[in-house]
Structure 1
Amino acid sequence: MKAAPAPAAPRAKPPAPAEAAAPPSPLESSRFTLWCLERWMSLGAPAVGRRVPGTMVVAVAALAVGIVAVIVTTSTGLNIAYADSQSHLTISRRLFDSKAPGFTQLGTVWLPVPSLILVPFVQNLWLWHTGLAAGLLGLVCLMGTACGVYRVAARIGLGRPARIAGVLLIIANPSILYVFTTALTEPVLILCMMGCFAGLAHWVTSRRNLSAGEMMVFTGLPAAGATLSRYEGWVLVVGGTVVVLVASWRRKKEWRYAIKMSLAFAVLPAVAIGWWLAYNYAVYGNLLEFLNGQYSASNLQKATADAGLLAYTHNAGLTLWTYNWSVLETAGALTVVLGIGGAIMLAWRFGLSNTALLVWVMGVAYGFSLLSLYLGQTHMNNDHSLPENWWNSRYALAVIPWLAVLAAVLVDSLSRVPTIAPGLLALVGLALVLQTAWWATDPARSSVIAEADGYIQLKAASGATDAAAYLRDHYDGGQVLMDESAAGSALLPEIGIPLVDYYNRSTGELFTAAIADPVSHAKWVFVSTADAPELSQTGVADLVYDAVKKQPSFETSYRVVFDEGDYRIYERISS
Structure 2
Amino acid sequence: MKKFFTFSDKRPRTINQAVNMVKKRKQNHFFGLEKKLSRNAFVKKILSFFSNLISKISWEKATLILSIILSVSSTIFFYQTKDIIAYGDAESHLNIAKRVIHGLTPGAAQLGGVWLPLPHILMIPFVYFDFLWRTGLAGSIVSGVSYILSALLIFKLSKMLTKNSFLAFVSSFIFMSNPNVLYMQSTPMTELVLIVFFVLNTYFFIKFLKKEGDIVSLMLAAFFGFCCTLSRYDGWFLVLTEAFVIVVYTFINKRPLKKLDGRLILYSTPAFYGILLWFIWNFLIFNDPFYFNKSEFSARSQQLAWMARNELPAAGNFTLAFLYYLVTSAANSGSLFFGLAILGLIYFLYDKEEKQRNLISLILAAPFVFYVMSLYMGQSVIFIPLLTPNTFEWRLFNVRYGIMMLPVVALLIPFLFKEIVKKAKFLSLVIIFFLFSLQFFLFFRDKSPIITLTDGVVGLSSAKKVDAQDWLKENYDHGLILIDDYARTMSIIRTNIKMENVIYVGTKPYWEESFKEPEKYATWIIMQKGDQVWKNILENKETEARLYKYFNKVYTSEEILIFRRMGD
TM-score, normalisation: structure 1:
0.82
How far the C-alpha of 1:459 sits from its partner, in A, is 5.3
Q: What's the CA shift string for 1:73-106, capped at 9, x where partnerless? A: 2222212111111111111111121222222211
The equivalent of 1:468 in structure 2 is 469
Change (3 A) 1:330 1:543: same
Contact 2:510 2:521 in 1 (8 A): no
Paired position in structure 2 for 1:403? 409
Q: Deviation at 1:493?
A: 2.5
Q: 2:525 — aligned with what? A: 525
CA distance in 2: counterparts of 1:308 and 1:383, whole angstroms: 17
Return the offset for 1:40. Answer: 4.8
Match of residue 76 from structure 1: 81
1:547 corresponds in structure 2 to 537
The CA RMSD measured in Å over matched residues stands at: 2.7
Q: Does the 8 Å CA contact 1:528/1:545 hold for their aligned counterparts?
A: no
Distance 1:439 1:381, change over 3 A: same
TM alignment of 1:120-519, pairs within 5 A: 120-206=125-211, 209-211=213-215, 213-216=216-219, 218-247=220-249, 253-350=255-352, 353-388=355-390, 389-416=395-422, 418=424, 422-423=426-427, 425-440=429-444, 444-455=448-459, 464-486=465-487, 488-489=488-489, 491-519=491-519
For 1:123, the aligned partner's letter is Y
2:518–2:546: 8 Å Cα contact kept in structure 1? no
Aligned-residue offset at 1:110: 1.0
Checking the alignment, whether the CA contact within 8 Å between 2:455 and 2:461 is kept in structure 1 is no
Q: Is the 8 A contact 1:479 1:523 kept in 2?
A: yes
Alpha carbons of structure 1 residues 120 and 443: separation in structure 2 relative to 1, 3 Å: farther
**In structure 2, what is the equivalent of residue 97 of structure 1?**
102
Report how far residue 561 of structure 1 moved. 3.8
Listed one character per residue, the Cα deviations across residues 23-67 of structure 1 (whole Å, up to 9, x for unaligned) are xxxxxxxxxxxxx96995333xxxxxxxxxx2x432221111011
Q: Describe the superposition over 1:358-397 as per-residue Cα deviations: whole angstroms up to 9, x where unpaired.
A: 2441220100100110111111111022335011111111
Contact 1:204/1:355, CA 8 A, preserved across alignment:
no
Query: Which deviates more from structure 2 when the two are superposed, residues 252-261 or residues 330-339?
Result: 252-261
The Cα offsets for residues 487-512 of structure 1, whole Å up to 9 and x where unpaired, read as: x3362223352211111111032112
Output the CA distance in 2 between the equivalents of 1:318 and 1:69. Answer: 34
Change (3 A) 1:209 1:251: farther
Runs of 4+, deviation exceeding 6 Å: 36-39, 249-252
Kindly indicate whether the alpha-carbon contact (under 8 Å) linking 2:480 and 2:522 is maintained by their aligned counterparts in 1.
yes
Please tell me the residue identity of whatever aligns with 1:215.
L
- Residue 107 (structure 1) aligned to one of 106, 112, 130: 112
Q: 1:250 Cα deviation (Å)?
A: 6.4
The correspondence of residues 14-29 of structure 1 with structure 2, limited to 5 A, is none
Cα distance between partner residues in 1 of 2:136 and 2:288? 33
Name the residue aligned to 1:574.
567
Letter of the aligned partner of 1:266 in structure 2? S
Distance change (3 Å), C-alpha of 1:245 and 1:191: same
CA distance in 2 between partners of 1:108 and 1:573 (Å):
36
Say which one has the larger Rg.
2
Equivalent of residue 58 in structure 1, options 58, 63, 80: 63
Q: Is the 8 A contact 1:326 1:447 kept in 2?
A: no
Cα offsets for 1:172-227 (capped at 9, x unmatched): 11111111222222111111100101112333334x8323x5521x2111110001
Name the count of aligned residue pairs: 511
Query: How far 1:249 sits from its partner (Å)?
Result: 6.2
Instruction: Identify if the C-alpha distance between structure 1 residues 237 and 272 changes in structure 2 by more than 3 Å, giving closer, same or farther.
Output: same
Q: CA deviation at 1:543?
A: 2.2
Deviation at 1:273, TM superposition (A): 0.9
Instruction: Give the secondary structure class of the aligned counterpart of 1:95.
Output: helix
Q: Structure 1 residues 396-405 or 257-266, which shifts more? A: 257-266
TM-score (norm: length of structure 2):
0.83
Instruction: Answer whether contact 1:85 1:182 (CA < 8 A) is retained.
Output: yes
Task: Measure the CA separation in 2 of the matches of 1:124 and 1:145.
Answer: 26
2:235 and 2:69 map into 1 onto residues whose CA distance is: 28
Q: Quickly say closer, same or farther: Cα 1:545–1:474, change in 2 above 3 A.
A: farther
